[in-house]
Structure 1
Amino acid sequence: MTDIEARTVAGVFDSVVEAIGNTPLVRLNRLTAGIAATVYVKLEYLNPGASVKDRAARAMLLAAEVSGELAPGGTVIEATSGNTGVGLAAIAAAKGYRTIVVVPDKVSAEKIALLRAHGAEVHVTPGGRPVDHPEHLRSVALRLAAEIPGAWFAGQYDNPANPAAHRATTGPEIWAQTGGGVTHFVAGVGTGGTITGTGEFLKEVSGGAVQVIGADPDSSVYGGGDGRAWYIESVGHYLHPETAEDLWPESYHPAVVDRLERVPDVTSLTTLHRLAREEGLLLGGSSGTAVAVALRVARELSVEDVVVVLAPDSGRSYLSKYFDDEWLGRLGFPLLSAVTEPIVADLLGDPEQAQRPRVVPSGVTVDVARELLGDAPVLPVVLQRVAGGVPVVAELLGTVVAETLAAAPGADLVTQHLGPPLPVIGTTEPLARAVARLGDHRGPVLVAHHGRAVALIQDDRLRAAVAAANGSTVHAEVAG
């Protein structure tokens, strides 16, 4: 055994770069009640940068040094949902490089804080932009790379070092940790590097016996969804309605994946909450997606089967979102805390059966918008390809007002005459809190359930319900 190998075994490293990898497998026990198969979670948040993306970041950066694309004193640039940027920033800090990271505005505040903590310059771009738009995060990153002397664009989506990192490390680790007993590997698909590289290794070493299953958000294009937005970060493939050509990442090799399973946001979130409370594992959003699929797959298997599911990062990067009742409630997701007071859903009955609100799709003309408005004074405008479907709260662009459209040229796009978006409240949040957030707003309010707009309700109905609830409480106290 060499000196380097001996120090690796002992957990002694010359720099953070060498400390990446060799993350543990932890067996699920309570969530697998009634399941015969064994399910292990690979805890990638125990990498130095707290995510699986450390592996790809190291491989891409070292390959760029070898090729000469990244020279001493150079600048590392990446477009990312956060984790790859954190990995690159940490490694770059250890090696003396400058780092610039471009992220979309839906990224959690914790990730942005982590990037800045490592000294990275963070550029936040607007969400909801097609790939070729100048404000799309990749366009911004490429522009910066072209303008800055000595800059290197990592390009994780198409960089072959991304899947290669997992062929060299993640796959061999899982095979060794299970003693070659792994039968099913489950991972989310974002850039595709993790599932591609790990899956290729496991299939090769097992003679094709290991099944590789991809976990995907319900509306992601990878699994056959329509590409609408979702709320779980760092997984899936979004398709903007104005995208001319849907290009998939070169890091993703679909032939490696035996099947893709789609998961609604609400299932990912409830799985996350159960993992924290029943297994002691505080994991990130895409981990909830992957574990939900792993449990679904494991229910079909026997006691001889071993499922390994990769958990990309920690829930500590999402405390302001997935583990925050205010964020959950605003969007109509299940809360962490029990609520005894009236909630918004009490006014609707079953939210799943609520009549969907009429909406105006973003690509229509003023003439079409007038027809869609009918006798309604105002309707929300949403980013979508067709008029049907359930609008995603994350993709609300604004409103159209009948009075405004009356004087607008009929051939104009409706997006040229937008008013401000309607306020949104969630079915699961307390009525009093929802009304307090409305402030001085008067008129229609959108109601969200599981991140989708399910109803339009007038503010006066909400205010009356709160007043009635307060009156009942006072009456009960007086009577007592």
Structure 2
Amino acid sequence: MNRDEHVSLNTADTGAVGIGRTPLVPIIVPLQGRRCRLWLKLEGLNVFGSLKARTAHALLQAAERSRQLEQGGAVVESTSGNLGIALAGICRARGYSCTLVVDENTPQTSRLLMRAAGAALVTASARDGGNPVEARLNLVRRFLAEHPDAVWTNQYGSGANPRVHREWTGPELADDFDGVPPDAVAVPVSTGGTFAGLSAFFREWSPSTTMIAVDAVGSAATGGRAAPRSAKIPGFGSGRESDFLSSADWGRRVVLHDLEVAEACRVLAASVGLTLGGSAAAAVLGAIAVAIEDPGLSEIAVICPDMGEKYLDLIWSRSSEPTAIRSSMTEALACLRLARSASCRDAEFMPGARSCGIPY
């Protein structure tokens, strides 16, 4: 690989300060006759509020290095929320104009944050064709036809997306564990870039670590059939199959209903006091579901892309619907209800793991 293709993070880079080195927070989940420990990688504590800060930095860096994007240039991207917030913030810091194509499912709070960072928003609707992501991409192509000098950062196809997680997020996670690999890593899937990059890293660093892909019912991201999702969790799953993934990338795959994920959000807040975003709660629930079936998994890293504040009107205001939850997830949710936070000074703290960075 050409050296210029590698992702780098100079903390003096405009818009990059505060990205990375997110805390790893342990919670203990009792299972039948045993327990497992989930290590929550709280990516919502990045600047711009999500894991997508890493992706946005890498996408812009790739466009700059290829000379596609020059001073004063224009950027366009399709986003369900988090990438757009980060991209808008970094573009403003670096002097680029930014147009973001969102859809009717994009949370109002996310839209406000994008506009506050100076982005122009275009909203796709069903009349723009296909499911929400296809409708957004149709508008991106139309925008590029009308503005040929604009640069599409293309989170769905740019190699910078998985590369940043192979070269940055993965090594950071290994450093969090002081070189002692977890038994498994659970990652929610949307574009698939995060999962593909982390899977590539762990194949080299710790092939025995089980990679758990967590997708949504009605999502095509990991090869399922795209279908309408009336209670869709933003940023979780996708209406298009990932360009980055194949079934060889995961050891286990869990597919969750959006209502199961919404319930996991509420249960997490009640049991351990963490208000996480939907994709983060999905990864937690998926990790527990796999751990119940596999007694060899006792230490599991869980990638939590963001916190839950942006989704209060979408997830937290909905009433619980127990009849919508499958029996297999009922057991996992019951275990999650009994979870407790684990102090970093706990005598049971995993040998080799670093301090979580949050006082208890």
Shared topology, TM-score over 0.5?
yes
Q: TM-score, normalised by structure 1?
A: 0.61
Deviates more, 1:264-273 or 1:302-311: 302-311
Cα distance in 2 between the residues matched to 1:80 and 1:310:
20
Long gaps (5+) in structure 2 = 1-8, 326-360
Give the partner amino acid of 1:233.
P
Alignment of 1:155-234 (within 5 A): 155-179=154-178, 180-206=180-206, 208-222=207-221, 225-230=224-229, 231-234=232-235
Alpha carbons of 1:28 and 1:233: their partners in 2 closer, same or farther (altered >3 Å)? Answer: same
Q: CA deviation at 1:132?
A: 9.7
Describe the superposition over 1:360-417 as per-residue Cα deviations: whole angstroms up to 9, x where unpaired: xxxxxxxxxxxxxxxxxxxxxxxxxxxxxxxxxxxxxxxxxxxxxxxxxxxxxxxxxx
Partner of 2:300: 307
Alignment of 1:42-191 (within 5 A): 42-127=41-126, 130-131=129-130, 136-148=135-147, 150-179=149-178, 180-191=180-191
Cα distance in 2 between the residues matched to 1:163 and 1:181:
20
Find the residue that maps to 2:115 and give its secondary structure. helix
Find the residue that maps to 1:182 and give its secondary structure. coil
Give the partner amino acid of 1:259.
R
Alpha carbons of 1:258 and 1:101: their partners in 2 closer, same or farther (altered >3 Å)? Answer: same
Alignment of 1:287-298 (within 5 A): 287-298=280-291
Deviates more, 1:13-22 or 1:229-238: 13-22
Partner of 2:40: 41
Q: CA deviation at 1:225?
A: 4.6
Q: CA deviation at 1:222?
A: 4.3
Describe the superposition over 1:28-76 as per-residue Cα deviations: whole angstroms up to 9, x where unpaired: 13x5465522211110101101111111110010110010111111011
Cα distance in 2 between the residues matched to 1:156 and 1:268:
24
Find the residue that maps to 1:16 and give its secondary structure. coil
Q: CA deviation at 1:181?
A: 2.4
Partner of 1:279: 272
Contact 2:14 2:94 survives alignment (8 Å): no
Cα distance in 2 between the residues matched to 1:134 and 1:270:
25
Q: CA deviation at 1:227?
A: 2.0
Contact 1:38 1:303 survives alignment (8 Å): no
Q: CA deviation at 1:236?
A: 1.6
Find the residue that maps to 2:242 and give its secondary structure. coil
Q: CA deviation at 1:235?
A: 1.9
Partner of 2:334: none
Cα distance in 1 between the residues matched to 2:197 and 2:324:
42
Alpha carbons of 1:53 and 1:135: their partners in 2 closer, same or farther (altered >3 Å)? Answer: closer
Partner of 1:235: 236
Cα distance in 1 between the residues matched to 2:257 and 2:47:
30
Alpha carbons of 1:218 and 1:95: their partners in 2 closer, same or farther (altered >3 Å)? Answer: same
Cα distance in 2 between the residues matched to 1:221 and 1:283:
24
Q: CA deviation at 1:161?
A: 0.3
Q: CA deviation at 1:286?
A: 1.2
Cα distance in 1 between the residues matched to 2:24 and 2:133:
42
Q: TM-score, normalised by structure 2?
A: 0.80
Q: CA deviation at 1:142?
A: 2.0
Cα distance in 2 between the residues matched to 1:137 and 1:196:
23
Q: How many residues align?
A: 313
Q: CA deviation at 1:234?
A: 1.1
Q: CA deviation at 1:131?
A: 4.8
Find the residue that maps to 1:228 and give its secondary structure. coil
C-alpha RMSD of matched pairs (Å) = 2.7
Alpha carbons of 1:162 and 1:14: their partners in 2 closer, same or farther (altered >3 Å)? Answer: closer
Long gaps (5+) in structure 1 = 1-7, 239-246, 336-349, 353-480
